Amino acid sequence: MTQKIAVLPGDGIGPEIVTEAIKVLEYLNADMNLGLEFEHGLIGGAAYDATKLPFPDATIDLVKQADAVLLGAVGGYKWESLDIAVRPEKGLLGLRSELQLFSNLRPAILYPQLAGASTLKPEVVAGLDIMIVRELTGGIYFGQPRGVRVLENGEKQGYNTLVYSESEIRRIGHSAFKIAQKRNKRLCSVDKANVLECTELWREIMTEISTEYPDVELSHMYVDNASMQLVRAPKQFDTMVTTNMFGDILSDTASMLTGSIGMLPSASLDVDGKGMYEPIHGSAPDIAGQGIANPLATILSAAMMMRYTFNQASVADRIEQAVNMALDANVRTTDIYSEGMQKVSTSEMGDAVVSALQSGEK
């Protein structure tokens, strides 16, 4: 069966890193007969330059028809003075809402070879492998009413609304339980049920749907404790699920435990598992065009695509294992370089992963 991947390189280092991820997928496509087809499209500043829109109709059609989307990054100095409605970042927001990507997966993985890059002690973080599932389209970032009003006494008052309907909680809950089933089958739901009624409902629904996943062990944790535990003993976590705002904060904390922004992939899924896959970092305009960007976050995003949209766990395992082998071979891009290692370019790192695939076991 053919699987169509929409490839949106975007801006800055986007095209350089996406080329390497495609190199890896093309190799596996030929080696394992995966039936992958790639079609390129424009997004962000590159799309604005060509069409005056950051998310043009042709790209909308492309992503709707595709089974999955691989994205580089968007944005850069060149487009910073544009009207906010046509800035590159709007392209990304448009993509998320067009595909109704409500479930955001942010893994924090620390390869033992890079444990020295973390600000935490190596023994606390080496081998870390957490998945944070963040609800992406609801909660306080979207709740109504919102705004700044003037009170009768003339004082200004800012207000936002934290709101989650039962169906929204169920939807993200099922997504998270299914992800936990593909991992170590432990799910920690993070809320503030002792103070916020909305997340009391969150806890109630998570508990209720847990009966449908008897193989997954569900626990609950208040967000303040979760943020503390993430830096105290992060390896206690397997999969975490939480609201939009708590997930925003906790996933950034978790990603920084690893200390290497160029290594972290992400996924955003819809209700059927169709997804958009991208590195967590931006377009890095400071190093764009120099051939020194780390492509591993994008290559690992391709692995997530295999696991979560195409249900090809063995292909995902092969890619992740090959990244590990490349690190074992001591090749490093500048961002993860340390003394004694071999410094390589973006494309040499892609090549190292492909040679690891060639020499690794299927």
Residue closer to ligand NAD by CB (options 89, 98) is 89
Exposed/middle/buried for residue 95 (C-beta within 10 Å: 0-12, 13-18, 19+): buried
Integer Cα distance of 42 and 59 in angstroms:
6
Do residues 5 and 68 make contact, with C-beta atoms less than 8 angstroms apart? Answer: yes
Binds ligand NAD (CB under 6 A): choice among 29, 113, 283, 309: 283
- Catalytic residue chosen out of the listed positions 252, 286, 328, 343: 252
Integer Cα distance of 309 and 344 in angstroms:
31
Binds ligand NAD (CB under 6 A): choice among 5, 136, 179, 284: 284
Q: Does residue 248 have an active-site annotation?
A: yes
Residue closer to ligand NAD by CB (options 162, 256) is 256
- Catalytic residue chosen out of the listed positions 67, 164, 248, 308: 248
| Amino acid letter, residue 71 | L
Q: Does residue 215 have an active-site annotation?
A: no
Q: Does residue 252 have an active-site annotation?
A: yes
Q: Which of 86, 19, 84 is nearest to 49 (CA)?
A: 86
Do residues 316 and 302 make contact, with C-beta atoms less than 8 angstroms apart? Answer: no
Residue closer to ligand NAD by CB (options 297, 357) is 297
Residue 105 contacts ligand NAD per CB under 6 A: no
E strands, 48-151, are 68-73, 103-109, 129-135, 147-150
**Binding-site string for ligand NAD from residue 165 to residue 204, where x marks contact by CB under 6 A and - marks none:** ----------------------------------------
**Binding-site string for ligand NAD from residue 322 to residue 351, where x marks contact by CB under 6 A and - marks none:** -------------x----------------
Phi and psi, residue 131, nearest 5°: -120, 120
Taking the complex as a whole, how short is the minimal distance between the CB of residue 278 and ligand NAD, in angstroms?
6
- Catalytic residue chosen out of the listed positions 4, 78, 141, 337: 141
Integer Cα distance of 279 and 285 in angstroms:
15
- Catalytic residue chosen out of the listed positions 52, 61, 159, 224: 224
Integer Cα distance of 341 and 113 in angstroms:
11
Integer Cα distance of 291 and 216 in angstroms:
43
Which range in 34-42, 98-106, 203-211, 282-290 contacts ligand NAD by CB under 6 A?
A: 282-290
Taking CA atoms, 39 is separated from 5, 23, 187, 234, 270, in Å, by: 6, 14, 36, 39, 20
**Binding-site string for ligand NAD from residue 242 to residue 261, where x marks contact by CB under 6 A and - marks none:** -------------------x
In DSSP terms, 130 is beta-bridged to 108
Q: Does residue 141 have an active-site annotation?
A: yes
Site for ligand NAD in 56-95 (CB under 6 A): 73-76, 89, 92
- Footprint on this chain of ligand NAD (rule: CB under 6 A): 13, 17, 73-76, 89, 92, 261-262, 278, 281-287, 293-294, 297, 335
